[in-house]
Amino acid sequence: SRRFWHKTWHLTFVGPCCGRGTCQGLPQGSKSTMTAFQMQPAQSARFVVQPAAPEVVLARSTALAGAVAPQPGASQSSLPVAALSAAGAAAATTAVSRRAARQAAKSGKKRASRVALRSVVAETPVAEHTAVDEKAWRKYGADWEVHKFGGASLETAELYKTCGDLLRSESTRSSGAIPTSAIVSAAGGMTDALVSVVNTSVRDTKEAAEKMEAACQRQIGILKELIPDKPELTDPVIANIKSDAEGVLAMLTAVQLMRSAPPQMLELVAGLGEVWSAQTLSAYLLSQGELAGWVDARDILIVPDSSSGGLGEKGQALDTIQPMWSETQARLQDWWQKNFGSAGTTAPFVIITGFVCSTISGRPTTLKRSGSDYSATIFAKVLGASSVTMWKNVNGVYTADPRRVPSAFPISKLTFDEAMELAYFGGQVLHPSAMIPCIDNRIPVLVRNVFNPPHPGTRVYGRGDDWLRWDDQGDDDIDVNFPVKAITSIEKIALVTLAGASFLGTHGVAKRMMEALSNSSVNVILTSQGSSEHSITVAVDESQAQLAADSVKEAFAIELAKDSEIRVTSKEKCSILACIGEGMKAVPGISGRFFNALGKAKVNVIAIAQGSSERNISAVVPREDLSRALRAAHAGFTLSDMTVAVGIIGCGKLGGQLMKQLAAFDAKEPDENVPATAEVKRLHIEVRAVSNEKRMLLAEHGMPLDKVVCDDAVGVDLDAYHGAIPDKDDEEFKLMDSNLTALEDFMDTKRIPHKVLIDCTSSEKVADLYESWLKRGINVISANKLAGAGDLERYLKTMQAARKEQGQWCYDSTVGAQLPVIPMLKDILQTGDRVTRVDGIFSGTLGYAFDKLSREPGTKFSEALQDAHDRKLTEPNACIDLTGGDTARKALIVARELGMELKLEDVKYESVLPKSLPESHDASTDEGWETLLSAVRSDLDETIAAKMEEANAKGEKLRYIGEVDTKAGTVSVGLRSFPSDHPFSIVRESETVVAIASERCYSGNTPLVLRGPGAGSLVRASGVFADLLRLSRRLSS
């Protein structure tokens, strides 16, 4: 029937033969005659037309008695669709589905096209399975299950035993026996060893022979260890291995004489590892009393003669080799009849060699490197299997390469489309071509861990596009909360760019470039082009970079000669990073999150591309930044715990308290029922560096915070802490003299995108480094008030660096510790309101002292000061409190936040430091403190007592405050008295209280008042920790 002639490579016709010996209606240019058949009316002939060749090749004639019997009333010359073979069914299905889709589009009924497609696809496998069901291997009453073991699972005799026992367990896991087949790779490293034999023979046949002998002895050693004292099973296998080795040695001399190894010879030798491996595993099963046989796929799996030679690259088999299905089935049938034709009702274990096959003319070839997955799915289709399990050494398909992204985790479900994208872009867990046979027959693919069989692994099933989705796949394969399933990469690629102003608006430039690359057999992995053809960039495998550039130059030789502005350039040492997931479709903001994550990690994006399927966004990045980019993108889509690398400078009382709080955070599991704690559940804080004035400790992968040796009075002893770390590696934990430049370089790691340095000092030298850190993209958290209230020029440069660079500067805890003074001021200003005045009790020391004097009449100021010191409320040098310096700095930080560019000397403040002492007096030592206290007793006790009596007489209370007046542009600090009902009069002990007045919302009579603990290392450390958590949330968003 002419209506079934389609423009497709393979056409199959089933119907009564006319008997004339010629076929009419062949495609134009094709001429052929057929061998005549003597047939009964209800019998049919099957043949395949291959337009690529000028002949009609007779593939097979099959008596299908009754299978295609004409329906009552139908003509015997009719062609039943249900009787089409695989290739013809595919052609018919495509035609019918397209026709249905066009009709549905015209009527606006999209659902109709989907139903029409599914109905045809659901019908066509019936004929395929009808043929398969007649095969000898279908007689066991259950569907076959196919298992595939890679080289990593077959590296030792113990691992062969593990795989064999696993097969036995899987075949009996349900109530009835499950027919089981296994496709095996070569023992781990064996293929590389055999390839080395051939390559070595080019220069030295003796060395090559030694390598061949070593490979043989390794496999024989595995066999003897696996099956000891059973020569009846091992001797035939050993004889086969030695025979194969002798054949290879006979060819090596020819290789040396030719000074090169033909690709066909390389494939022949490289495939021996799978042949030996299959025999080894089969022999083990026999030794355990199982019925088993091994299949040399070179005798069964047949591919066209057009299959190219060579092994290809590991993990990238991008050219799909199509098996000749009918021929493969027929040969498997012959093998089965010969080996198990008389077997009983128990299905044997069938162990099949992966990777290898043969052409129709008999030449041994391969499915290319990493092609054993494809072998497994091919035989799954041939056997009519119900599932294919790929046994790996990981718990399924991961969200990213765990070697580059330690926080990657297994994915529970993938569609075939997602799996193919993942495989194409470097995900080496599955072979790129392996999914195609399973899509044809809707066979689920399971990826499981051979070392952890109870783990469910990853299930690959179903399609992604609406018009291709299967009725039985469900709707739970797309998670709206995780639109990106995985982040993957291709490491070694190069970019080839054709650019020229004269190409602007010129038609056909892209066509010519792609044709040139195609003619040179250059595989284009990615294309990036602007709205015009002014510049076109393609990504190719790095090994083909020069070939690709030369091909483009040759194609545009005339233009290059005429116009010096036209350039063909190549850029090597690049990598492709790809985000993959069905949930990305029609979801705004995915690209923004992707590129925002890369930007925050300081990863430069060279080129970008997105497929029309919307399940893939790709970016080309420098290869040196690939690991950092993978981690940043992975964390950006919340696929992993967000890791923040932290360095702490200053590990005295404040730094020590901070480390103790970080340790408690690390040890405690957040309560998921509380929204606030659920936000930080995925946050991992890795303290990489701790430094004091003299020493610093660096840890490449973070410090064990539970081992911190901290004295609340003095802080962390780094030498003692280093000694308390158990089983430490000197390369992992380095204790050395303090060097802030070296610490900065150490913190700027590419392993972790987000870095934070926390300044817990009171050092001008440390504050001087902020600008440099921010420019390197290192975030800064400051508890050091000298940074925000120190030199004005330095402050402005630091703020400018924080705005322009990738780093952020957080200093909220410098005023009020945990009280949100700075965040509240920012919120008010950002709403458009204007802050007119800020008053506050900023000094915990003086706040406590004057509150004690008010509550306990008769108490001397020196006694209240001693009590504050005993409670560890004072600054390390308490003179800073008494001079008003601490209050002045905090008030100045507030003023600068409000836009007032003032210096510390612009602040008017009243000192309560005894006049007998200079402002430079150091009270941080015991001796210095006693000197200060003695001077307070003699110089201030009476003076302060008099001021207290004066305030009490007015019914007021004396307080030491800071005042910021934005209208007057002034900052002042000193003693003031307030009515007993004023917010400043009702504070308790060391509380900080801040009153904010604004033009619109908060008048002078009803200011916004913030009140709470604001002094002491414990409270200040909590404020710094809160800064870190706020910063982490901003980085993750």
Catalytic residues, by residue number, are 890
Please choose, from the candidates 841, 839, 778, the residue with its C-alpha nearest in 3D space to the C-alpha of residue 810. Answer: 778
Query: Tokens 């391969």 belong to which residue?
Result: 366
Residues written for the chain = 1037
Q: What's the CA gap between 645 and 755, in Å, rounded? A: 5
Q: What Å distances lie between residue 353 and 156, 181, 184, 338, 380, CA to CA? A: 18, 11, 5, 18, 13
Helix and strand totals (H; E) in the chain: 34, 35
Tell me what percent of the chain is helix, strand and coil, each rounded to the nearest 5: 40, 20, 40
| Cα atoms in the 13 Å half-sphere on the side-chain side of 331 | 22
Contact 170, 179 (CB under 8 A): no
Cα separations (Å) of 665 from 677, 699, 1026?
11, 19, 12
3-state secondary structure 235-298: HHHHHHHHHHHHHHHHHHHHHHHHCCCCHHHHHHHHCHHHHHHHHHHHHHHHHCCCCEEEECHH
For 613, the 3-state DSSP assignment is coil
Strands lying side by side in the sheet with 683-691: 733-737, 695-699, 683-691, 642-649, 754-759, 779-782, 809-810
Q: How far apart are CA 1028 and CA 666, in angstroms?
A: 14
Q: What is the rounded CA–CA span in Å between residue 192 and residue 214?
A: 13
Q: Which residue has the tokens 């070697």?
A: 403
| Pairwise CA distance, residues 423 & 976, whole Å | 73
Pairing relation of β-strands 908-909 and 956-965? unpaired
Beta bridge partners of 622: 574
**Using an 8 Å Cβ cutoff, are 899 and 933 in contact?**
no
Question: 24: how many CB neighbours lie within 10 A of its CB?
Answer: 7
Report the DSSP beta bridge partners of residue 47: 13
* Measured distance CA(466)–CA(299) in Å, rounded: 40
In degrees, to the nearest 5, what angle opens at C-alpha 876 toward C-alphas 882 and 787? 85
Contacts for 676-681: CB closer than 8 Å, 24+ residues apart: 679/1033, 680/1029, 680/1032, 680/1033
Give the count of alpha carbons within 13 A of 890, CB side only: 31
Contact by Cβ (8 Å): 365, 267: yes
